[in-house]
Structure 1
């Protein structure tokens, strides 16, 4: 069973964008594993809250301009 885990800043993607990521990721994996993989493919999109991660000693907070508009 293919399993993909995507971590993204909380509020960065709309529900429609998440659905598109799930569909496109599933389609990509089916290209590699065959159509038989489709019903067994899991795509998990985890939203990480602001301040929940960092890079180079800097805590990341998503700017308001980058937040999804539903």
Structure 2
């Protein structure tokens, strides 16, 4: 029974983007594991508060991530 937890910084992704993430990741898992596992494949999005996510000791905010997304 696959369980995937997608962790993101709160305020970066819209509800529609999170829905697409869940659907796309679910389909990717099912493509590997097989259609029989569709009913037991779980994918959730967990949001971490802005500023509480650090990489290499540097905390990042939703605004910083949104800026990076905008510049591609």
With normalisation by structure 2, the TM-score equals 0.81
Answer 1 or 2: which has greater helix percent: 2
4+ long deviations beyond 3 Å: none
Unaligned runs of 5+ in 2: 68-72
2:4 and 2:42 in contact (8 A); partners too: yes
- Tell me which residue corresponds to 2:56: 56
With normalisation by structure 1, the TM-score equals 0.83
User: Structure 1 residue 55: deviation in Å?
Assistant: 1.7
Unaligned runs of 5+ in 1: none
SS in structure 1 at match of 2:62? coil
- Tell me which residue corresponds to 2:43: 43
